[in-house]
A and B are shown apart, each in its own frame.
Chain A
Amino acid sequence: MSTLAVEGLRVRLPTPAGDVTVVDGVDYEVQPAEVFGIAGESGSGKTVSMLALLGLLPDGSSVEGSARFGEDDLISMPRRRLRSISGRDIAMVFQDPYTSLHPMLSVGKQLTEHVRLHLGLDRGRAEERAVELLTDVRIPDPHAALRRFPHQFSGGMRQRIAIAIALACRPRLLIADEPTTALDVTVQAGILRLLDRLRTEHELAVVLITHDLGVLSSIADRVSIFYAGRVVESGEREEVLRTPRHPYTRALLDALPHPEAPQEQDLVAIKGAPPTPGRIPAGCAFHPRCAYLLAECRTKVPPLVPAGDRLLACPPDPFSHL
């Protein structure tokens, strides 16, 4: 049974210019102990789709579709129940380790508050649990760390603390939104290894949102590529990243410097820019930038359909021979 099953997710956000569709029909499933990667550039709707699941959208937003989590549907759930679930059964880790922790509370306080609120533990037990968590995320000298404040830790350490808080109530699902983007590459490697270990040890399902395909490639089991609020390709990490079949996925990979490519060769840039929400081209959203388009791409939105070993939203399927 999948931990999370999202179907037909559609999100509209209010703006001064009127309502704008930011997520336009997204489906995916996440299994226990699996790292599910969501890749996309800015404006692809990847973050907003997560916020929709947790009820963190601004007032005036509208959400359609369903998100089955256990026996509940996160979208249609009453707010109170959603609030008790999020933080306890579903946890989230954000990009910026500098603003996601409360600057005025000690680390211990933030951990124990969280645990006492959701699990009702007394202070002693809560503190034990806090030390346990800090040890789990490999913070050196956890007892002393309890009494310190976030600003006394480096970015990487803060991110570990944020992960510790997220895991405090033994959630079934962890959503990590660009958790390593703001970190140095060696620190990022440490966090990725940590996440990998934790998901195995705790049978945790992880949704990892990032624009960095290298990060996805190293840790994700299955990936979904988002473009302009829709999923364009989805499947096993090895299949999608080694042999991409959607022109956008292909272009994204081509734009990256390849370790084996000769230096003289130029990097391949994708012409044009990702569309802003509210100004999505008709038909296939990628068609103005696509080198393989057919007439139908301009008018028909390609559905995400099974195509061999993956799901693909591209009728021309120009790389199917790969």
Chain B
Amino acid sequence: MTVLQLEDVVVDYHGRGGRVRAVAGASIAVARGQVVGLVGESGCGKSTLARAAVGLVPASSGTVTFEGRPVTPLGRRIRPAELVRLQLVFQSPYSSLNPRRTVGSQVGDGMRGSKPSGRVAEILEVVGLPSNAIGRYPHEFSGGQRQRIAIARALAADPSVIVLDEPLASLDASAQAQLANLLKRLARELDVGLLLISHDLAIVRHVADAVSVMYLGRMVETAPTTELWERPAHPYSGALIAAVPHADGAGTLPVSLPGEVPDPSHPPSGCRFHPRCPYAFDRCPMEEPPLLVLAGGRAAACWLQRAGEAPKPLPNLVGSDRVQ
């Protein structure tokens, strides 16, 4: 049952040089107990989308719906009680906790009415922190632990969906592993839906049930995780996967993608990815492909695919002449 739904969301920023379209029409859905990964590289708009999903940033057009209700952007007034069950965990565990307040006090922020310390201790236990953390301050904890405090704070509000913006980015390998395991558990045991934004495909692959790939403000592919990995339907997804280095000792260089991410205020004509796409053909610069719905719960915005049909595997790229 879909709890969080974003449809054709557009987010514009008004900067000094005029309007920049950070998100140019993206859709994504999260159900209870489901982990949805959102991957993409810098400038693709995934962080902006995350903020729009919880109302920190207003959507210029499109709809954001949570439990059937529209997500109103956060303004001066108090956030409506129904929306409190939609939470966000920020990327940096160092700036998302108030250094001057105790852990217990901040975790208690999410609770209504009285905040019995027993309940706070319970939540801390769920994320694997000792109950004596209640009276301590954030700086006494490591990055990984702080991130868990932030998650505990979100959990205290009894959320049905938590959006996590690159929660693993500033952590070392071991802390990442612990946190990834925790997130999986939360989804399974507490039936919380997670929207996990990350640039680290390997971790997302391990944690998410479904993955959406974003490029230059648009969603280019959506698929169940294992299927995306085994048979990507969009060339950019294929490029991302091929670019991940593996620690297997084999000495294989990852495949690189030629070109650069274009300026979001001047996207290429037609398909946004076409200048860098090894498979581009004449239709690609002319018409921008919508997110075509394919068989098997998949979707891809690529003219190589046909709506309603099974996803066609990407043609094999022989040799590295095409790449730098």
Contact = CB atoms under 8 A, between A and B. Distances in A.
Contacts of B254: 185, 188-189, 192, 218
Interface string B166-205: 0000001111111011001000000000000001011101
A269 to B, nearest CB: 4
Contacts, number: 140
A216 B247 CA distance: 7
Nearest to A268: B177
Most B CB contacts (10 A, CB to CB) among A215, A253, A257 go to: A257
B249 interface: yes
B249 A219 contact: no
A78 interface: no
A221 B215 CA distance: 34
Interface size range of chain A in the complex: 35 or more
Nearest to A220: B251
A193 B42 contact: no
A281 to B, nearest CB: 17
Contacts of B317: none
B172 A274 contact: yes
Contacts of A155: 42
Interface of B is mostly: loop
Contact of A267 (B42, B206, B239, B252): B206
A196 B250 CA distance: 15
Nearest to A196: B253
Contact of B252 (A138, A218, A243): A218
A259 B199 CA distance: 16
Interface residues of B, number: 46
Contacts of B261: 154
Nearest to B206: A257
B324 A194 contact: yes
Contact of A217 (B172, B242, B251, B260): B251
A265 to B, nearest CB: 9
Interface in A207-247: 211-220, 237-243
Nearest to A272: B174
Contact of B245 (A42, A138, A192, A240): A192
Interface string A252-281: 110111010101001111100110000000
Interface of A: 41-42, 138, 154-157, 184-190, 192-194, 196, 211-220, 237-243, 251-253, 255-257, 259, 261, 263, 266-270, 273-274
Which A-B residue pairs are the 6 nearest by beta carbons?
A: A241-B249, A214-B245, A242-B249, A267-B177, A189-B256, A184-B41
